[in-house]
Structure formats: C-alpha cells, structure tokens
Amino acid sequence: MTSVLVVDDSPTMRKMVKAALLPLGSKFGEAANGLEAIEQLALQHFDLMVLDLNMPDMHGLEVIQYTRAYESYKELPILVLTTRSEHETRQSVLEAGANRYCTKPFQPAELLAAVRELLGG
C-alpha cells in the first residue's frame, strides 16, 4: 500500500486533499507544519508528499531541502500544492527540488492525476 504525507497548516485543506486522493487507496500521514513533516518522515516510510509552501515557522521550500537531506528521500516525489504567490514561481519551486507544482484552488481530478503520474501509473 502506498503511503502519502499531506503537509498543510489548514486542517480543512488537508481534508480536501485526502478526499481528492481517496481513489488511490493509500494510507495518509498528516502534518500541520514543516517540523512535524520532517518528524513524520523519520518515523515512517512515505512514497509521496503533498506539500503546502506557506506554513508557520518553516516555509515549504525549506521542508523540501530537509527532506532531500534524508538518505531515503532523495528521490521522494514531492508535489507542491500552494496558493499562487508573487514569491514563488513554478520554476523556483521545481528548482528547489519539488517534482511537481500545483496551485490552489485545485480540481480534485487534476490533483489525483498528477499524484498518480508521480507514483508511476
């Protein structure tokens, strides 16, 4: 069973993401901030991360940096799901090490398709 970590400081948004990804039949982990996400990664194995950028204490781009510092997560597919902002562009997010850049508001079907693609089918 695949396992997806949903990182977003909004519980409603996490719920929406999980609802959109329900058809995957995967297990979900949740984190409400960057530190919690980094902790979750060390405590159990994940196959994919859906990551918000603008969170308290630690920005999502920093979370990517730390995630890549784990031996086992060098190749972890990271889908950044964020509200459009003047500070980050698709390019800067991908350069920071994300595999995919999606924006909120999102269409559930599109998010699902993007995640499926990242998981390889």
Positions that interact with another protein (CB under 8 A): 9-13, 15-16, 32-33, 35-36, 38-39, 41-44, 52, 54-58, 66, 69-72, 82-83, 85-86, 104-106
Q: State which residue, 74 or 116, has the beta carbon closest to another protein.
A: 74
> In whole angstroms, how close is the CB of 4 to another protein at the nearest point?
19
> In whole angstroms, how close is the CB of 1 to another protein at the nearest point?
18
Please say whether the beta carbons of 63 and 7 come within 8 A: yes
Q: State which residue, 110 or 121, has the beta carbon closest to another protein.
A: 110
Q: State which residue, 82 or 121, has the beta carbon closest to another protein.
A: 82
